Structure 1
């Protein structure tokens, strides 16, 4: 069973949400140790800041240790830097629900595919601006809506722009504001969790939001290659847990909670969407049947009068 499962492979779909210039695609390329998604940011320090203007999914097939992973990364337009940000989250929510609807349509076919292509979004990396010093009103609004339809993982972008003390204070403030606004990020508590799962999830909650640094640049430090960012005072090593939480985020997404992200999407978010859609279909059919019955009754009431009129004529 394990061999067949690994041979069939898995679909894992990630959506990136946040402001422009937060290094969203760079972080994904760093997580998967390859240039999977073309960055829309600056090519050079002096270069102009380019922006993603539409929702762009990019699919790659990754194979490692006889495991096939069909990865789809969905980049979304940055928000928060416009004058009017009202409804800026609508395209993102619509895209996520559209994938649920497409999966439901394939699932309800009379002759279903043996293996349905899963395009449902399993994880949402939500990028927080370290310069905001907390959740902005737009962050609160978007997070409330996103957590209803997808597993949200908050990350503190460009953590190398803050000191260790500022980073700790930022994390504490974000946790307090999320709790006050009753916004529940992933992972969620479950009755099926054992002591090991509870301990692991508590550790993740302590680290969240993950303070991350993304970089595809490799430097030579003391004769060893180091992935990171060079500053005047030294090099940030993204693979060093003392420098940032990148390693913890990568292990969390790809090692300890990969399958759970897929399962929670199917059992929680998709099931809620499916139930709502089927209920609406049932109510619509009931209304159509009621209208058809009323029309038939009206025709029966009109028919005797029409017959009498013919007889008199």
Structure 2
């Protein structure tokens, strides 16, 4: 029976992987350009700019100048206009004929105020707006060229306090994890020793688990690839990839150090920070987790970040918006004028929580009130002028009437004399 099956020719299903391979080679130009959108969130002074420049080994964002001492009045005037804002840095990176369109989304002003109430809302609104913009582009007749600014990863910087996470950080991480791939990192980890760093990581993991914060973890495929079952080298590479993914998961949150200064060690130049007691190397895994974080973002899991954003987070937002639109259409069943494709209405923008807009709104209200007062004052002055003019005219009229009366009396007297 087995000999009969062996003589049956193949029907061609086994050639499907070769077809996929040829298809990818044909459309290789589409894969030579990828877009990566990274959002950097954290308080000022945690080394976000240094980390960005160190990650890509070039100056993508210049450092700000040193802060100058200011009086209380000057500081209050400047800080009143400051708020959590969004800054986008666009650049093009090339390596081995591969092009990466990088969009760095910085959030200056986050957590820098005494009152940080709802400081996470501008960040969540920005993520939702990008999903909405992309969904609207998909509704257009021509969808081949689309501008994609959906946030693929949120790198959240945690201050190295060796305590616990602040309530603001917990709420921000929880809300952002619902909308994008969250990657928490401990900034300036060289300020903690090894024991303190281990304890701090354990505390952060405990808070993340208790608060149900979903952080991005690289996919781990325990079973070996069936296509590489007969290839020992491919199987070995697969096991190494699994081991590397487990190391990345165990290292979260990543303890990082950033530096743009290079020092020479044994004839090799390395990025690091030099102290009187020694040199800390940025890319030394025994000193920090910078290499692991760079591997997660660029080397091994870049496509996982992009695809998870498109397949999960964006689909969740799209599903929610479509369901809300369907419910709204069901409530308006009496209106039969909607025909054809129903374009989704734009979501209501929540900007009232932004202190800058509140300040502008208050300034406009004050300006409007002042203008109203000026107009009222001018109206009262105009009304008073009218009253004064009426009084003057009445007085003139009375004088003229008195003159007329005197003339009539004179005429009457002359008539009497003439008789």
TM-score between both structures, scaled by the size of structure 1: 0.84
Residues 200-209 or 143-152, more deviating: 200-209
Q: How far off is 1:132 after superposition? A: 5.4
131, 153, 158: which is aligned to 1:100? 131
The secondary structure found in structure 2 opposite 1:230 is: strand
Partners in 2 of 1:48 and 1:105 — Cα distance? 47
For the residues of structure 2 that align with 1:252 and 1:188, how far apart are their CA atoms?
8
* RMSD value, Cα: 2.5
Q: 1:275 aligns with which of 311, 316, 319?
A: 319
Report what 2:29 is aligned to.
Answer: 4
Q: Residue 276 and residue 194 in structure 1: after superposition, are their counterparts in 2 closer, same or farther (change >3 A)?
A: farther
Q: 1:240 aligns with which of 281, 284, 289?
A: 284
Give the Cα separation in 2 of the matches to 1:47 and 1:237.
Answer: 31
Quick one: structure 1 residues 108 and 120, their matched pair in 2 at CA, closer, same or farther if it must change by over 3 Å?
A: same
Q: 5 Å matches for 1:1-313?
A: 1-2=24-25, 3-7=28-32, 9-40=33-64, 54-112=85-143, 114-131=144-161, 133-187=163-217, 194=223, 199-290=243-334
From the superposition, tell whether residues 194 and 255 of structure 1 become closer, same or farther in structure 2 (CA, over 3 Å).
farther
**C-alpha deviations, 1:204-252, integer Å up to 9, x for none?**
2210010000111112345432211122212211011111110111111
Closer/same/farther in 2, CA of residues 101 and 194 from structure 1, 3 Å limit: farther
Distance 1:21 1:232 in 2: 22
Deviation at 1:130, TM superposition (A): 0.4
Further displaced range: 275-284 or 122-131: 275-284
Partner SS, residue 91 of structure 2 = strand
**Secondary structure of the residue that 1:72 maps to in structure 2?**
strand
Distance 1:142 1:230, change over 3 A: same
Contact 1:126 1:153 in 2 (8 A): yes
Q: Is the 8 A contact 1:219 1:225 kept in 2?
A: yes
- Could you say if the C-alpha distance between residues 259 and 246 of structure 1 is closer, same or farther in structure 2, counting changes exceeding 3 Å? same
Identify which range, 200-209 or 246-255, moves more after superposition.
Answer: 200-209
Cα distance in 1 for residues equivalent to 2:295 and 2:249:
14
1:299 aligned partner: none
Contact 1:157 1:213 in 2 (8 A): yes
1:74-117 deviation digits (Å, cap 9, x = unpaired):
000243332111110011111111111111010111222x1322
Gapped regions of structure 1 (runs ≥ 5)? 294-313
Measure how far apart 1:28 and its partner are: 1.4
Contact 1:52 1:76 (8 Å CA) reproduced: no
CA distance in 1, matches of 2:129, 2:266: 50
CA distance 1:181–1:53, shift in 2 (3 Å): closer
Counterpart CA distance in 2 for 1:92 and 1:232 is 40
1:45-90: per-residue Cα shift (whole Å, max 9, x none)? Answer: x877999962100010111111110000000024333211111001
| Structure holding more helix per residue | 2
Unaligned stretches of 5+ residues in structure 2: 1-23, 71-78, 225-238, 338-419
> Residues 94 and 237 of structure 1: is their aligned pair in 2 closer, same or farther, counting only changes over 3 Å?
same
Tell me the CA shift for residue 286 of structure 1. 2.4
- Name the SS of the counterpart of 1:131 in structure 2: coil
Larger Cα Rg: Structure 1 or Structure 2? 2
- Whether the aligned pair in 1 keeps the contact of 2:162 and 2:196 (CA below 8 Å) is no
Cα deviation, residue 187, structure 1: 1.4
Higher mean alpha-carbon deviation, 241-250 vs 46-55, is at 46-55
Q: How many residues align?
A: 287
What is the Cα deviation at residue 125 of structure 1? 0.3
